[in-house]
Amino acid sequence: MEEKLQYLRDLAQNWKPARDLNSLRDTMVFATGNPHTQLMLIGEAPGYYEEVQREPFVGRAGEKLNQILKAMGLSRDMVYISNIVKFRPALPNQRTNNRAPTPEEIEACLPIIMHEIQVIQPKMIIALGGTAAVGLLGEQGSVSSMRGRFHDLNGIPVRVTYHPSYLLRSDNPREKRKVWEDMLAVMERMGMPVSEKQRGYFLPRE
């Protein structure tokens, strides 16, 4: 598996459909975590902090994701974390500002992530955010319309939930609870233990 991932990493570095767009930056951010896991988390594209550290989901959004995983009884080194687009989408005079990848950028990069999924063969995928969900599943919709149920990607169940950065922008406990309900559904589907304490996270106080 490691050889396959290294081949894929080399392929992604010089992936012509993505390079030919001339709208992505040069530093590749491939993936992190355990390739032998059953759980794969997929976001949209690296941002400033990811580009600096060459690792998906670092910075504040990464810290929030770490907190979610910890609440599930997991850690980053127990799951596999990747993005559909492996390069930070470019902007004029870009510093720390980021943008979401365009549909053209996602389409150009999609064969890489699909190949990556084939190599990892996870039992479950969590799509973090609408851009990742639309890219992976090929259906249009918002996170709110796509979450709350399992989708199918070549026989693999996919749970769509909000991106960690959305939770940073929204301090609404109800939104946190929605994400947590998605995680509980994932845990139950995967046969992971769920305690009563975990079931009660982010429920509104009586």
Q: How much is the pLDDT for 204?
A: 75
Spatial distance between the Cα atoms of 70 and 76, rounded to a whole number of angstroms: 9
Q: How much is the pLDDT for 129?
A: 94
CB 41 within 8 A of CB 80: yes
CB 23 within 8 A of CB 102: yes
Partnered with residue 39 across adjacent β-strands are: 124
Q: Is the pTM of this model over 0.85?
A: yes
Q: How much is the pLDDT for 140?
A: 87
* Alpha helix stretches (DSSP H) within the chain: 2-13, 16-19, 48-53, 59-71, 103-120, 130-137, 143-146, 164-169, 173-189, 196-199
Task: Look up tokens 């907190």; give the residue.
Answer: 67
Question: Of 153 and 166, which is predicted with more confidence?
Answer: 153
Q: How much is the pLDDT for 170?
A: 81
Per residue in 159-175, pLDDT tens? 999 999 888 888 788 88
